[in-house]
Amino acid sequence: MLLIATGIGVLAVVVSLLLGPKKPSRAKLMPYESGNDPEGGDARQRFPVHFYLVAMLFIVFDIETAFFYPIAVAYQKLGAFAFWETVSFVALVLVGYFYVLKKGVLEWA
């Protein structure tokens, strides 16, 4: 298994070397973040924090869906406990979403 993982890592590096840019220029080497203009302006722009908040919420939502599967599989055995545990979990995630909405993080303009 370790050999397969190492092979995949080496393959990824080799492919990136073969398919990557051959003649780097200033524009190609400039750091780029979603939502910021990569051309012109100050190269050291301050990166907005709301991108990180949305990313954290996405990760929490992703983990939440991963934990729903075992609850669904064992739902008959767990009964009402599983239902209320799921409801409380969704409620906690919704608190985060309402916080983000209140702060205006999802307004991209």
pLDDT of residue 61: 80
Average of per-residue pLDDT across 59-81: 82
Task: Judge whether 93 and 64 are in contact, CB under 8 Å.
Answer: yes
Is pLDDT at 73 greater than 90 in this prediction? no
Task: Judge whether 38 and 25 are in contact, CB under 8 Å.
Answer: no
pLDDT confidence band for 72 (50 / 70 / 90): confident
CA 81 centroid distance within chain:
30
CATH annotation of 49-109: 1.20.58.1610
pLDDT of residue 50: 72
What is the three-class DSSP state of 66? helix
Q: How far is CA 108 from CA 5, 35, 70, 71, 99, in A?
A: 39, 9, 36, 35, 16
The whole-angstrom separation of Cα 38 and Cα 34 is 9
Tokens of 54: 């949305």
pLDDT confidence band for 33 (50 / 70 / 90): low
Domains of the chain: which residue ranges? Answer: 49-109
Task: Judge whether 86 and 68 are in contact, CB under 8 Å.
Answer: yes
* Mean pLDDT score across all residues of the chain: 79
Q: Which amino acid is at 60?
A: V
pLDDT digits (tens, 9 = 90+) for 35-64: 555 555 555 566 667 778 778 888 888 887
pLDDT of residue 54: 79
